[in-house]
Amino acid sequence: MKQDMIVVLDLGSEENPKIAREIRALGVYSEIHPHDITLAELKALPNVKGIILNGGPNRVVDGVSIDVAKEIYDCDIPALLVDHRGDDPWPVDDGERETALKNFIFTICGAEANWNMDNFIADQVELIRNQVGDKKVLLALSGGVDSSVVAALLIKAIGQQLVCVHVNHGLMRKNESESVIEVFKNQLHANLIYVDATDRFLDKLAGVADPEQKRKIIGGEFIRVFEEEARKLEGIDFLGQGTIYPDIIESGTKTAKMVKSHHNVGGLPEDLKFQLVEPLKQLFKDEVRACGVELGLPPAMVYRQPFPGPGLGVRCLGAITRERLAAVRESDAILREEFEKAGLNKKVWQYFTVVPDFKSVGVKNNARCFDYMVIIRAINTIDAMTATIERVDWDVLQTITDRILSEVDHVNRVCYDMSPKPPATIEFE
């Protein structure tokens, strides 16, 4: 193992991710582990130089007092108690905090500042090889940042022992499946199974207008298609997942309440038993991107804007039709192209188009026409909980509008959504 590690034991403090990030910012790798880890489990972690207990002993979470095992307090690994009470409270001033952390990590624990992506990748490759041996790993590769980075890391570690399945649900953006095939099959020579399930998804979705129902159908069908592929393959013991640290926080740790349930490929049937391989589960999003860059993935894949799992399905509003789905896909491609030309792709957090399921009157070629509209949305946010709109330059909007009206079939009107979140949400469904 190449990197030293400081373990933050989770006594229910919401500050744990912040502390882990502060330690990593000082160049030392840090992982967060549950408070009930045993001494043997702690000792089995590589290169643990120190532990930090944030919250103090006998924390009360939901009326229950929790603490780490006495044997951990008594062991030979240096421990820092970050207590906000008492005579010698943990400094709140950022500079003082940094000094206190540095003193603990470097002077008391003797850790080396050797956390960087090269070492992280080298360590994960070793860990993956140890875990997997000569067995095979299955991975649902959507082309999103997390699944792409985990695929690249697994390819580096175990090459052809990784089997990627890319399910095209027909709700991808323009050229998205093609670029997954190009990067992973043609450039990285992955063992990639491509399943075009467009017809299957669109048939199931026909006539369904309720957004939650649409999401359920898309999620459920995805699992069924993936399961069918998994059953065709033999001798697979492991399932790779692009779980990252924020997913774990959102799904609730032992001490934090569940914010939302998170499923990457949750819901597989009981008899399909896999052990999980989750090499990114301690990384924050920016670190996942840095890892992807280091592994040679194209910047467009690593820095792409967030894209919902149900894809264009929740942007083709109401009951999905192929005609309107094509209008969403083409207008989205134009928007992305023009945002890139204007340099807005690096500035705006999320931008997309939607097509509602009603028509408005227009005039084309001197005749009355009755056609759909495209709504453009471009927002900025820190955490997706609240959002403000981007004040897109008028000329850029004019160019996009002109292109959509002349290049996209069945569209006679383009609108710009001015609504912040709240009261609107980022997506329309």
CB of 335 to ligand XMP, least distance (A): 15
Between residues 207 and 423, which has the closer beta carbon with respect to ligand XMP?
A: 423
Nearer to ligand XMP, 165 or 171 (CB): 171
Q: Of the two residues 91 and 309, which places its CB atom closer to ligand XMP in the complex?
A: 309
395 φ, ψ (degrees, to nearest 5): -65, -35
Q: Which CB, 72 or 145, lies closer to ligand XMP?
A: 145
Amino acid at 151: A
Cα diameter, the chain: 86
Closest CA to 256 of 79, 17, 6, 48: 17
Closer Cβ to ligand XMP, 50 or 308, answer by number: 308
In angstroms, give the least distance from the CB of 89 to ligand XMP. Answer: 37
Nearer to ligand XMP, 16 or 241 (CB): 241
CB nearer to ligand XMP: pick between 113 and 424: 424
DSSP symbols for 224-264: HHHHHHHHHS-SEEEEE----HHHHHHH--SSS--SS---S
Binding residues for ligand XMP (CB under 6 A) = 215, 306, 308-310, 350, 384, 421, 425-427
Q: At its nearest, how many Å lie between ligand XMP and the CB of residue 375?
A: 14
Least distance to ligand XMP from the beta carbon of 18, Å? 22
Count the Cβ atoms, other than its own, within 10 Å of residue 160.
Answer: 10
- Smallest gap, in angstroms, from Cβ of residue 298 to ligand XMP? 22
Cα gap 268→287, rounded to integer Å: 29
**For the CA atoms of 138, 141, 146, 150, what is the dihedral angle to 10 degrees?**
40
Q: Minimum distance between the CB of residue 22 and ligand XMP, rounded to whole angstroms?
A: 27
DSSP symbols for 318-337: SS--HHHHHHHHHHHHHHHH
Tell me the closest approach of the beta carbon of residue 356 to ligand XMP, in angstroms.
Answer: 16
CB of 359 to ligand XMP, least distance (A): 25
Angle separating helix axes 117-132 and 145-158, nearest 10 degrees: 70
Alpha-carbon distances, residue 48 vs 13, 93, 124 (angstroms): 21, 27, 16
| CA-closest candidate to residue 409, choices 351, 305, 334 | 334
Residue with tokens 């590769």: 141
The minimum distance between CB 28 and ligand XMP, in angstroms, equals 32
By C-beta, is 17 or 308 nearer to ligand XMP?
Answer: 308
3-state helix, strand, coil in the chain (%, to 5): 40, 20, 40
Q: Which residues pair with 372 in a beta bridge?
A: 411
Nearer Cβ to ligand XMP, position 126 or 427? 427
- Distance from CA of residue 305 to its chain's centroid? 11
**Beta pairing class for 367-380 and 350-354:** antiparallel
Is the CB of 98 or the CB of 427 nearer to ligand XMP? 427
For residue 293, the surrounding DSSP H or E stretch is helix 285-294
Q: Is 147 within 8 Å of 176 (Cβ atoms)?
A: no
Q: How far is the CB of 308 from ligand XMP (least distance, A)?
A: 3
